[in-house]
Amino acid sequence: MTHRPNQVAHKDAVLKVAAIQQVCSADKNISLATSEAKIRAASQQGAKLVVLQELHATLYFCQTEDVSVFDLAETIPGPTTDRIASLAKELDIVVVCSIFEKRATGIYHNTAVVIESDGSIAGTYRKMHIPDDPGFYEKFYFTPGDAEKNDGSSGFEPINTSVGRLGVLVCWDQWYPEAARLMALAGADLLIYPTAIGWDINDDAAEQARQLDAWITVQRGHSIANNVPVIAPNRVGLEADPSGQSDGIKFWGNSFITGPQGEILAKASADNEDVLVADIDRHRSEDIRRIWPYFRDRRIDAYSAITKRYID
């Protein structure tokens, strides 16, 4: 049986989106100035939704465990969200930014903030899956997001905006099909993954290639399995290990945007900053779901074991 998607163009339903890939600085003002310049560049190219990478205002501080780093955390709203909000309002665009959030004394989160085009905060997503691996000691800094929010909604709840319902997740979340599926089942029009991932520069080229391919493939898989576009901006550049115990992390860039069949619409390099722009047809997901009805054929009566840690 041959599946042929509807090829009718929906010219009135095209959403231009952008993913920002940048080098970060120890000086928050320098990093934010870079973010702002690239947001402006994306807007000049017509983007109405701009997505920044994970923790774009700072260096990736999780290479070590250092209590002084908590001084970098901010409230929401706070200085960074106010600054991004002002720009979003000026440019009349929706922006997804990334904040090291101070929720309360001793409770900090890795939080994506969605800024509406009028400068208001449309919603937040607190990273749910927190890694703890050499060079990525995030459990020291970040409390996982709440599985259920105070309003009774799920931790995997799309955020309503003027450009659609955004299924915002963060970095390590991108390896979990459950998170993508729950966002899609809740009505996400897009999956968004602000990211900070890179290589151990001592790994050989073959291992680096395998890791990069796995990162791209798993997210394309979420796009395919849920029939939704994916926006995945990643940071770029070599960041030293502050402790000097390792050679640091070379963030591998390769930010990309897919359509709802996992097709690559735009992809950045491994080494350079970039403003990645692509057109997304907002009717395309429905066209694809009519011929690839994954949601219809799900055997929800047979999946109860998925909530177990392991099936002995």
Residues acting as catalytic residues: 54, 127, 171
Cis peptide before 77 (omega within 30 of 0): yes
Contacts of 214 (CB under 8 A, 6+ apart): none
The whole-angstrom separation of Cα 282 and Cα 293 is 17
The whole-angstrom separation of Cα 74 and Cα 222 is 31
Contacts of 271 (CB under 8 A, 6+ apart): 236, 253
CB neighbourhood size of 77 (10 A): 14
The whole-angstrom separation of Cα 241 and Cα 151 is 40
Closest CA to 32 of 51, 50, 55, 60: 55
196 token code pair? 């900070």
